[in-house]
């Protein structure tokens, strides 16, 4: 059921955007035009397919909670009435069973969003993005992190709700993919050897989130 949640969220949003009985009301209540630039914050829940991307025995040191929760920041610009370009950073933490260490997912992406139903207060959208991603094993002793990183991409959609001319809310559901290429040991832990190493691992998953943007 967890894996189906993002798809169910998007289907429900698209069904709610223009119900047959409300099309006339939505058209009559056209939203004011958005300004050009925006900044915002988001909260998210994510699920990943695997966490053994460090390619060493015992990493991570325990079973990982599949669902992580976090948030992020973004900054972007509107191009015309339909297209939004954005730089966004998203972060989510996962608990490890039986140990105090934490595992974190991080993405820094350039994204493009295409809106549909221009002028309506609520508009469905499609979104894609590409950039970098990683996982960081945060050691409980605070002596540094073990970081795996590589290229990352997302694809999905959601709904954009315009609140006046200065604010908007977004509900997003996207598929995520990260191709890990390198691990850097920033710890002083003898378990990890103190050296950096190359990896060839990848994971995929889902992320759902709610975002608030300020337009200026």
Q: How far apart are the first and last CA of the chain?
A: 40
Domain extents for the chain? 5-11+33-215
Q: What is the pLDDT of residues 114-161, one digit of tens each?
A: 999 888 899 999 999 999 999 999 888 777 899 999 999 999 999 999
Residue 22's pLDDT is: 45
Q: What is the pLDDT of residues 58-114, one digit of tens each?
A: 888 889 998 899 999 999 999 998 999 999 999 999 999 888 889 999 999 999 999
DSSP class per residue in 173-203: EEEEEEEEEEEEE-S--GGGTT--EEEEEEE
Which residue in 6, 44, 50 sits closest to 179, CA to CA?
A: 50
Residue 31's pLDDT is: 60
Cα separations (Å) of 145 from 100, 101, 102, 185, 211?
13, 10, 10, 7, 28
Question: pLDDT tier at 193 (50, 70, 90 boundaries)?
Answer: confident
Question: pLDDT tier at 24 (50, 70, 90 boundaries)?
Answer: very low
Q: What is the CATH number of domain 5-11+33-215?
A: 2.40.160.20
């Amino acid at each position: 059921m967890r894996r189906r949640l993002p798809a169910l969220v998007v289907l429900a949003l698209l069904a709610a955007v223009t119900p047959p009985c409300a099309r006339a009301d939505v058209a009559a209540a056209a939203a004011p035009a958005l300004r050009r630039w925006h900044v915002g914050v988001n909260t998210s829940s994510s699920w990943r397919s695997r966490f053994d991307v460090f390619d060493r025995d015992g990493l991570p040191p325990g079973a990982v909670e599949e669902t992580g929760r976090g948030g992020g920041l973004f900054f972007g610009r509107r191009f015309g009435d339909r297209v939004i370009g954005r730089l966004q950073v998203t972060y989510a933490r996962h608990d490890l069973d039986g140990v105090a260490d934490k595992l974190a997912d991080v993405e820094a992406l350039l994204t493009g969003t295409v809106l549909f139903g221009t002028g309506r207060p609520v508009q469905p959208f499609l979104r894609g993005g590409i950039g970098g991603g990683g996982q960081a094993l945060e050691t409980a002793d605070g002596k540094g992190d073990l970081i795996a990183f590589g290229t990352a991409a997302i694809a999905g959609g959601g709904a954009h709700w315009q609140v006046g001319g200065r604010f908007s809310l977004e509900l997003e559901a996207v598929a995520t993919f990260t191709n890990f290429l390198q691990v850097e040991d920033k710890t002083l832990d003898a378990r990890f050897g103190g050296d950096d190493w190359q990896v060839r691992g990848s994971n995929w998953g889902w992320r759902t989130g709610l975002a608030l943007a300020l337009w200026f």
